[in-house]
Amino acid sequence: MPEEHRLDEQIVSQVAQSRLSEELDGAEKIDVDVQTDLLKMFQGQADGVSVAGRGLVMRGIRVQDIKLQTDSVAINPLSVLFGQIELNQPVNTSARVVLTEADINHALTSEFVRSKMPNFELNVDGEIVGLQPQEIQIHLIDNGKMAFTGKVLLTEKGKVRTVGFTAQVCPRTEHKPIILENFNLTQGEGISLEVVVALMQKVKELVNLPYFEFDDVVLRVKNMEVQKSSMTLLVDARLTQIPATEGNF
């Protein structure tokens, strides 16, 4: 009966919401709706999961608003009994995420994000130049564009120097990629033109990556809508495992 089916969903959803709340460092509001019933759950199946939240915080990263919907989910039912959720199959997820400029910049200084920033190598006429990000700040401006300021460490022929830069980009939409409008060096004397060109090419390459991968999560940003001090993202994600506060993201 529909009422009994909905009661099953409510019970499972409350358990899932409680579990997710424990994984978060904080949340102003969170609602979880698991589209399943107890029989399917015991068989390790769910038709989908939706999450709506405001002010979610995890590992020092805050999300202003999020609405998320998964497709069908296959989990290990025994893992739930021991307080964990293990996926038997990867899960596809779509989400609408709102981030504030302040929250983005705070996240960029967090230990978690900094630990995920890789070091890069530039090939400059056959010579390898090391590139290590140091400081990055984003500015969401009222013309619908994004501006960046930052510093990187360049290692060239055994010499290490700090290079400051500014950049402005037009955000990605479903019909066009991110466009790098300008890129300027603000600090770092004596850098060759070849290194500057290679650095610009690397920036273009990074901003136009088709997806980002963080351990068990692959993200693809479909659309970016920028307003003064806030940004709305439409994101597709593929999870091979449920993120947890301990271990992998």
SS (H, E, C) 104-168: HHHHHCCHHHHHHCCCEEEEECCEEEEEEEEEEEEEECCCCCEEEEEEEEEEECCEEEEEEEEEE
| pLDDT in the model for residue 86 | 64
Laid out side by side, the sheet with 29-35 consists of 29-35, 48-58, 61-70, 91-100, 230-239, 217-227, 212-214
C-alpha to C-alpha distance for 65 and 226, rounded to whole angstroms: 15
pLDDT given for residue 145 in this prediction = 93
CA separation, residue 180 to residues 33, 166, 169, 170, 217 (Å)? 40, 11, 4, 7, 26
Q: Are 173 and 184 in contact (CB under 8 A)?
A: no
Q: Are 187 and 151 in contact (CB under 8 A)?
A: yes
Q: What is the CA radius of gyration of the chain?
A: 21
Enter the pTM of the model. 0.82
User: For residue 223, is pLDDT > 80?
Assistant: yes
Whose tokens are 């400051």? That residue is 164
pLDDT at 196 over 90: no
Estimate to the nearest angstrom the gap between the alpha carbon of 108 and the chain centroid.
11
Name residues whose C-beta falls within 8 Å of residue 22's C-beta, 6 or more positions apart in sequence. Answer: none
Residue type, 8: D
Three-class DSSP category at 86: coil
* Terminal C-alpha separation, the chain: 39
User: Which pLDDT belongs to residue 180?
Assistant: 87
User: What residues form DSSP beta bridges with 85?
Assistant: none
The more confidently predicted of residues 205 and 107 is 107
> Which pLDDT tens digit goes with each residue over 137-162?
999 998 899 999 999 898 988 888 89
Mean residue pLDDT of the chain comes to 83
